[in-house]
Amino acid sequence: MLKRKTKKLTNISIIFAMVISLILPMQQASADNVISVSEAIANNSGTATVEGYIVGIVKSTNNYQFEGTFTTATNLALADSADERDPKKILPVQLKNGTDARAALNLYDHPENLGKKIRIAGTLKAYFSVPGHQESTSFSFVDAAPPEPQVEEVSSSVEGQVISKGTQVTLSTATPDAAIYYTVDGSNPTADSTLYTAPITINEDITIKAIAVKEGLKNSSIAEFKYQVALSGLRIHDIQGAGHNSPVANKVVEGVEGIVTKVVDDRNFYMQDLQPDNNSNTSEGILVYQPNHGQTEGNVVSVNGQVKEWVLEGYSDKLKTDLAMTEINAQYGSISILEEQHVLPSALVIGMFGLQPPTKVIDNDKFTEFDPQEDGIDFYESLEGMLVEINNPAVIAPQKYGELVVLPDRGEYSRLNSAGGLNITEFDYNPERIFVDMGDEDFVAKSGDYFEGAITGVVSYGFSNYKVLTDVEDLPAFVEGNTEREITRIHEKHKELTIASFNVENFSANEEGRDGTSDEKAERIAVSIVHNLNAPDIVGLVEMQDGNGPTNDGTTDAKESADRLIAEITVQGGPEYVYTDIAPVDGEDGGIPGGNIRVGFIYNPERVSLVEGTKGTATEAVGYENGKLTLNPGRIDPMNPAFEDSRKPVAAQFEFNGEDVIVVANHFNSKGGDQPLFGKNQPPVLGSEVQRKEIAAIVNGFVKDVKEEDKNAKVVLLGDFNDFEFTDSLEILKGNELTNMIEKVPFNERYTYSYQGNAQVLDHILVTNNMAKKTKVDIVHINSQFMEEHGRASDHDPVLIQVKLDKVK
């Protein structure tokens, strides 16, 4: 609601201003004992009459305002020169409330006093922590006439506010027989403007400016009254419109009717129109905000308030990235209950025999065209705030944050992967995914599970996604599907080398706290390596933390963390692996502060040996000469600025059955900061991709160097590359030298990670082209589509290859 910003004088102030010319002779400051401002500052004690120029006001200690609209009547700034700006030469002068000095001298009411010379008597003592003047007893203007008596400001019978159409406004002034002139076009009124003779009828948004004029008196200051006329007769679909923003955004509406369909909390509820239109592009639901609204589902209400486009819950950058919800802010309006316990409207079915969400396109026109039939982002906008029904939903990702990602009709009309999830492709990020926010973070569900019956809720938006709001107790019968954690089909063979890539999700020797590694997690990772991966000969480990994990004390060595993992592996029946890595410079590689995550290797010394060589340091760059790495292990170009705040790749040369292979462990910079798929910027800006491309080029360059030195060299790249197999980053990484074995995996098995219901590949193993035909690959699905309750050990699935190294030429 708009508030009038002009100030009205109190009755006492009015009296003082009207008779100031009569009072001033009685308030003359004595000419005796008159001192300058500089003298008052130098000897700031006792009483004195100070003479000086009004140069502004004091805002805070040594902070003065010298021009513009003055914001306080409590003080003046006095100086010996009218153009003085040096705080050391300015005297703060107190103007106590209720005194004649404040009424006549303050710049808030009398900006015309700026630059005038005055004498003011009072006590010299500190004010605003510097030499000052307080408790004035008298004052006078020097070589200047007293302020001219002025007509009292115009007032309105209706303070500036939201009003109904047809409201009449009466203008008046306290000065008898004064004429009032006004404008409505934004210009300042004069005596030539429209003469006020009768109440003004307001039928549209308007600003009235008015002055009062009387012969013999100075014209009043300009009064301003802003009025916003509430729109009436609108239905919810009129407010929503066919688009992402309301056609009446920031307008005030009155008498908007709907039935309460979902109470979110004591401040927010959704309501839906009981008189829908025939336009499927306009939503019939809307969010209403009013603290302590007291509404319950089934109430039919009438709402007055301002239409806003409001960004709801989200990440810290939500105002830059997220879509807004259309709401009626009734905080300064009203809500009237017309009926109680009314039957809710039927929910719109999404899926079979109902609305079909787009399955390919999120947005392809940068919001220039509203097309719910083609663009997923428009489809869900057209349902914003409405009751919807999802029949027999299939769960396509593990529960997270109290949300489930589902598809209607058991996902029968989607191309589900082997776990019952939904893979992304280069041109399809699955707009048909539906987020169900049921609020229970303890609910256990994985990909492949489903519900028998319908989930009903209201379409909302938050944390960069549209979602259906419901309550866990209202979910239909839950059925656990057949998805099970896998065991690799690759088995140890005497003449074939097995190499795995495994993101172990911030593994450390520290067992405590949210970012520590519990005994249960350590055991699950060990079991995964021994049982599910069949104890590979070499495991490239990603996200190994230093020995004390997130404790930020300068520790970088990971020996304790590695020892813990190796010990647990042996307990589970695995080999006694050997660990190698290169500790990073403290705090330079990103990740959890203090954790110093890095890549490293464990290898089975009974089958594999690390080729003899000098271990590199965090800042040394590895090369390749005479068939060997110059450092073993060694970091690839670690001082290159492309690796800022990210992990540096580590290359290690191993020997297996008389054959050498170079394995490079990688953990490219994360996708943090990339804009969301269902955000306000289309297409989303992928800011993190720039760095990954630079890193990819550096790693590919290393492989080039090796191959130029030895065309028969065998090189394996593994790790968490934080990008998909079809992206520019992976194409740059492959170059003409490498084959990405992930591309050899059948499409329905091609996923290592789940993000917001999208199954995707972030973890890859690439081999030089000469190895590709002799290499088998398996993504072992044990984590990404499961919760910890199902045995999940990490958030990534490991990737495993087996290569006939002696057959590679």
Which phi and psi angles does 673 have, rounded to 5°?
95, -15
In this structure, how many other beta carbons lie within 10 angstroms of the beta carbon of residue 245? 14
* Cβ(157)–Cβ(170) below 8 Å: yes
Mean pLDDT throughout 342-360?
A: 97
Could you tell me the pLDDT band of residue 29, with boundaries at 50, 70 and 90?
A: very low
Whether the per-residue pLDDT at 244 is higher than 50: the answer is yes
pLDDT given at position 512: 84
Whole-number average pLDDT of the chain: 93
Q: For residue 765, how far is the Cα from the chain centroid?
A: 34
pLDDT number for residue 69: 86
Query: In this structure, what token pair is assigned to residue 226?
Result: 């802003």
- Supply 706's token pair: 């090796």
Helix H or strand E segment including 482: none
How would residue 162 be classed by pLDDT, with cut points 50, 70 and 90? confident
pTM above the 0.75 mark?
Answer: yes
Q: Which residues pair with 625 in a beta bridge?
A: 628
Give percent of the chain with pLDDT exceeding 70. 95
pLDDT surpasses 50 at 21: no
597 class by beta-carbon count within 10 Å (0-12 exposed, 13-18 middle, 19+ buried): buried
736 phi/psi in degrees, rounded to 5: -105, 5
The backbone torsions φ and ψ at residue 397, rounded to the nearest 5 degrees and listed phi first, read -160, 155
Residue range 462-501, pLDDT digits in tens:
999 999 999 999 999 999 999 999 999 999 999 999 999 9
Instruction: Report yes or no: 782 and 793 within 8 Å, Cβ to Cβ.
Output: yes
Let me know: does 242 contact 279? Beta carbons within 8 Å. yes
pLDDT value for 147 = 61
Return the pLDDT at 32. Answer: 55
- Within 10 A of 127 (CB to CB), how many other CB atoms are there? 19
Helix (H) / strand (E) containing 320 = helix 318-321
Determine the pLDDT at residue 706. 98
pLDDT at 456 over 60: yes
Confidence of residue 318 (pLDDT cuts 50, 70, 90): very high
CA dihedral sign, ordered 689, 695, 697, 700: negative
According to the model, what pLDDT value does residue 146 have? 58
The alpha-helical segments, DSSP class H, found in 361-439 are 376-381
* DSSP strand pairing (348-350 vs 763-768): unpaired
Q: Give the pLDDT confidence score for residue 113 in this predicted structure.
A: 93
Q: Which helix (H) or strand (E) element contains residue 609?
A: strand 609-610
* The token pair that represents 368 in the structure block: 């220039």
* Cα-based distances in Å from 83 to 3, 89, 118, 238, 543: 36, 11, 15, 58, 65
pLDDT at residue 246 tops 60: yes
d(CA 761, CA 724): 5
The CA distance from 269 to 250, in Å, is: 19
d(CA 709, CA 626): 8
Contacts of 292 (CB under 8 A, 6+ apart): 266, 267
pLDDT at 54: 96
The string of pLDDT tens digits covering residues 686-710 is 999 999 999 999 999 999 999 999 9
pLDDT of 805 above 60: yes
pLDDT at position 8 over 50? no
Pairing of strands 454-462, 325-339: unpaired
Query: Which of 30-39, 146-155, 736-745 is the least confident region?
Result: 30-39
Residue 682 and residue 369 in contact, taking contact as beta carbons nearer than 8 Å: no
What per-residue string of b and e applies to 637-652 under the rule 16 or more CB within 10 Å gives b?
bbeeebbeebbbbbbb
For the stretch 392-428, pLDDT in tens is 999 999 999 999 999 999 999 999 999 999 999 999 9
On the question of pLDDT at 309 being above 50, the answer is: yes
The pLDDT of residue 283: 98
CA distance 727 to 424: 12
- At 305, give phi and psi (nearest 5°): 170, -175
Q: Express as a percent the part of the chain with pLDDT over 90.
A: 90
Nearest to 453 by CA among 389, 361, 396: 389
Res 3 pLDDT > 60: no
Task: Give Cβ neighbours of residue 562 (< 8 Å, ≥ 6 apart).
Answer: 544, 579, 581, 600, 602
